[in-house]
Amino acid sequence: MTKIGILGAAGRMGQMIAKEILSGAYDGAVLAAAGEHAESTALGRDIGALCGFGDCGVKITADSAAVFAACDVLIDFTTPAATMENAAAAHASGKALVIGTTGLGAVEDAAITSAATRAAVLQAANMSVGVNVLLSIVEQLSARLGPKEFDIEIFEAHHKHKVDAPSGTALALAEAAAKGRGVSLDSAMVPARYGQIGPRPEGAIGMSVFRGGDVIGDHTVTFAALGERIEIGHRASDRALFARGAVRAALWLAGKPAGRYTMRDVLGL
């Protein structure tokens, strides 16, 4: 049996992940612990009851050390600051950690890399199986559709409450496009346009962002040339797909040697 803990258990994604594990749909998966920050109003509550599943005997706690000690693998959907703390705990304990937190920067990335020297750590901007297949396709297309002929534009849309932009998934798609072309994203990305910007630079990877309503997550990558366009994308209509991907990743990661992994490793891409 694989003992799974949830960090950020009272959040929207945390509750969805709890439901997935408690559903019994995953052979060998056991919900062993649920963690939250010290000011959470959910502390002391049964995570099963909180997510509408019914009491499961796992109380939400702010004792991070106890959560890590009780589990084989942890799933983290928290905040960048909390993810850094959880990465440090993974480094100290050697426990496997799946990170789905978005809005991470260079500092958080360095903390994850450090944790991976002593623990198996999987970090993905998007836990969707479909999105990760899309990342692979974008990299392959970018390698074959040259910058002299094809311009690349990425569009992403999310609900009005999302606080970071562009989304982690959009940035991952841009990274895949840049990797396919053998360039750095920093040198190629154009994240916004306004005013007299002049003609499009050759090889630019454009990015545009929409925020509004209750959009769960739409991503489209367009390869535009003279006389033709290729458009590929992904639309999420149910957040549960991210929870399913996270549980799949946790079961795959448990028992793996220390190192840094991605969903593409899980899917064999």
Report the distance separating Cα 123 and Cα 126, nearest Å. Answer: 9
Reply yes or no: is the peptide bond before residue 80 cis, omega within 30 of 0: no
Residue 145 has pLDDT above 90, yes or no: yes
Residue 269 has pLDDT above 90, yes or no: no
Among candidate residues 158, 159, 161, 234, the one labeled active-site is: 158
Among candidate residues 37, 162, 179, 256, the one labeled active-site is: 162
Mean per-residue pLDDT of the chain = 95
Structure tokens at 57: 């005997």
91 is catalytic: no
Q: What are phi and psi of 97, to 5 degrees?
A: -140, 125
The single-letter DSSP state of residue 45 is S
Q: Are residues 232 and 246 in the same domain?
A: no
Q: Are residues 148 and 40 in the same domain?
A: no
Span 116-136, average pLDDT: 94
Q: What is the enclosing helix (H) or strand (E) of 82?
A: helix 80-93
Task: Please give the pLDDT value at position 205.
Answer: 98
Residue 145 is part of a domain; what is its CATH number? 3.30.360.10
Where does the pLDDT of residue 192 fall: very low under 50, low under 70, confident under 90, or very high at 90 and above?
A: confident
Q: Are residues 24 and 137 in the same domain?
A: no
Q: Are residues 65 and 25 in the same domain?
A: yes
Span 228-254, average pLDDT: 95
Q: Are residues 161 and 115 in the same domain?
A: no
Report the distance separating Cα 221 and Cα 193, nearest Å. Answer: 17
Q: Are residues 215 and 227 in the same domain?
A: yes
Structure tokens at 164: 């970071």
Q: Are residues 93 and 190 in the same domain?
A: no
> pTM of the full predicted structure?
0.84
Q: Are residues 6 and 115 in the same domain?
A: yes
The structural domain count of the chain equals 2
Residue 30 is part of a domain; what is its CATH number? 3.40.50.720
Span 216-223, average pLDDT: 97
Task: Please give the pLDDT value at position 70.
Answer: 97
User: Could you tell me how many helices (H) and strands (E) the chain has, helices first?
Assistant: 10, 12
Asked if 131 and 197 touch (Cβ cutoff 8 Å), the reply is no
Span 148-173, pLDDT tens digits: 999 999 999 999 999 889 998 999 99
Q: Are residues 83 and 18 in the same domain?
A: yes
Domain span at 163: 129-236
158 is catalytic: yes
Q: Are residues 201 and 177 in the same domain?
A: yes
Task: Please give the pLDDT value at position 23.
Answer: 92
Q: Are residues 88 and 189 in the same domain?
A: no
Q: Are residues 10 and 118 in the same domain?
A: yes
Question: Smallest Cα–Cα separation from 14: which of 81, 101, 130, 115?
Answer: 101
Report the distance separating Cα 74 and Cα 145, nearest Å. Answer: 40
